[in-house]
Amino acid sequence: MSFIGVEVKKTVPYNKVVKHVNPKLYEDLWEYAKATWNITDDRGKTVTLSKVKSIMMKFRYKLRKNYVYKDESPDKHKDKTPENDTSNDPFEKYDYLDSWNFGVLLLLLLIV
């Protein structure tokens, strides 16, 4: 996984839909990436922020599919990537997950 992918998953609240996340958080991630990689201009900003949002949408989908709706999806739709594990505990696989945010995600999915 890329550096930015890990930082995004650790920083952006996954219990929110991407479009509802505070835009300043995305700006802060870009500034962090610039400082980390010594980037002097903003030419890559649009592409990077697009990837950041895509990473979050995929991560949120993966959490829902593999841990929330795990028993409801047919086998042919289950994630068959090597990183998929059979654990029922997402906190074992993703040690940076916040249990409170995961609980909020579960509640939001139950309401909808």
Task: Quick: pLDDT tens for 16-36.
Answer: 888 889 999 999 999 999 999
Residue 22: φ, ψ to 5° = -55, 120
Whether the CB-CB separation of 16 and 59 falls below 8 Å is answered with no
Q: Is 88 exposed, middle or buried (0-12, 13-18, 19+ CB in 10 A)?
A: exposed
Task: Count the helix, strand and coil residues of the chain and give each as a percent rounded to the nearest 5.
Answer: 65, 0, 35
pTM over 0.75: no
Task: Quick: pLDDT tens for 83-106.
Answer: 555 567 777 777 777 776 676 666
Whether the CB-CB separation of 49 and 31 falls below 8 Å is answered with no
For the chain, first and last CA: distance in Å? 31
